Chain A
Amino acid sequence: MGEITQQDMERHAATSATRGIRYRLMRWGAGDVPDYIEFVETVQLATALSCNLLGTNPKLHKKHSEDSLTELVIIHMMGLGFDARLDSMVGGHCDMVVNLNGDYKWLAEAKIYTSHSWVWQGYQQLATRYQPGDPHSSHGGMLIYCRKPDTTAQMVKWQGYMKSQNPALVFPVGTVLPIAGLFYSQHDSPRTGGPQTIAHFAVPLNWAPATKAKKAAAKKAATKKAAIKKAATKKVATKKAATKKVATKKVATKKVATKKVATKKVATKKVATKKVATKKVATKKVATKKVVIKKTAAKKTAAK
């Protein structure tokens, strides 16, 4: 025969989780319609894979909004074969609705984990507003985008907060899926009273690689060192400038003093010269007087 058989398709499907999910959907499409629980388990496995895939490159999603992140999850879910939609109208705008032939629904609300109350608000919307409460839409999910480290610890805290807000909530054991921090919660539908189960998925979006932190610390230290060196150099320069200023001032003061001394000397000399001149005048006066006396005496003698 040599053609690809159903056995070959199953072998291909067994080589990866995504191929396995798509093969399951091919079977559903060809008439092997699942029950609601098989649908839910497949959707939740696909959601876990999509959340993990989103978490493989957190650096790329640092600035993405809740809707952008959810859109990426939805695109991957569609690649796995699900009719998944963003913001479908189901008692309001539910973030993600996965639907099978209009018969089964799985609703999810997405929140960036900024605070417990913010995620709680999303959970309340899902539980009391969007979930219709019928058996074929009785399962759903919370997609919690965690930008802080250690998603498992955050999910433990989140579960604790849920308990504190509503002690009637039940946390059943559910299917183990390949995603960190997953847990299930159960509440009764406010509309029908039927049990509604929510799977809480954590999307690890923390981006703080150790190598980068080390590099940043080294850079910071180098910058600090350079700044200290610069400050020290400045201090030395300032000191030098001050010393120079003082020396210049000293020189100027000395110059002034020297000038003063010289001026004083000149003045002293001038005084001395004046004194000599005065003395000379006085001497001359005395001599003149003496001559006059002499002349007068001579005159007197002659007259005699």
Chain B
Amino acid sequence: MCLGILKALHERMKSPQRGAWTYRTLANWSGFSELDPIFQDCIQLMVVHPRIRALDMHLLYFSPNRADDIGIPLSAEEEKFALRSDGFYVDPDSGEKVPDYKAYLVPYFVPAAKLEAESRG
């Protein structure tokens, strides 16, 4: 499964348009289900394995108050606090801490330096 995902990633690296790759994007490209726990294990390995490290993870915030929200990327500082087990996230519109904020933060991935280097050959 990991090799399938990696192959799909290398294909996408040929395209000039990258965008934000969510679990769903990666699952659609590689032909797996985003809900499959093994697929989620593979994404973990793509991010953390020192010999793979193909992806860097970031977060997008989807406001529960806007139905057509396309997501706001979190800053490095916001991510740092949001990722903690006892963390928080402040809504940029209201300035209020978002209750149950982890349900509105969507992880997305960008190519890590290693994948960029590999795709350049």
List A residues at the B interface (Cβ < 8 Å). Answer: 1-7, 9-10, 12, 15, 19, 22-23, 25-27, 29-33, 78-84
Contacts and interface: CB of A to CB of B under 8 A. Distances in A.
Interface stretch (B11-19, B97-105, B113-121): B97-105
B76 A5 contact: no
Given A4-B22, A4-B107, 5 more contacts: A4-B24, A5-B104, A22-B48, A31-B83, A78-B49
B48 A29 contact: yes
Contact of A6 (B44, B50, B107): B107
Nearest to A84: B50
21 contacts: A2-B24, A4-B40, A4-B107, A5-B103, A5-B105, A6-B102, A6-B107, A10-B102, A22-B41, A23-B44, A26-B48, A29-B56, A30-B58, A31-B79, A31-B83, A33-B80, A80-B48, A81-B44, A81-B47, A81-B48, A84-B50
Interface string B40-79: 1100110111110000111100100000000000001101
B23 interface: yes
B44 A26 contact: yes
B56 to A, nearest CB: 7
A84 B23 CA distance: 28
B37 interface: yes
* Most chain B C-beta atoms within 10 Å of own C-beta, residue among A1, A29, A30, A80: A30
Nearest to B69: A1
Given A5-B105, A6-B105, A12-B40, A30 B83 contact: yes
Nearest to A9: B107
Contacts of A25: 47-48
Contacts of A7: 100, 102-103, 105
B84 A3 contact: no
Nearest to A25: B48
B77 to A, nearest CB: 8
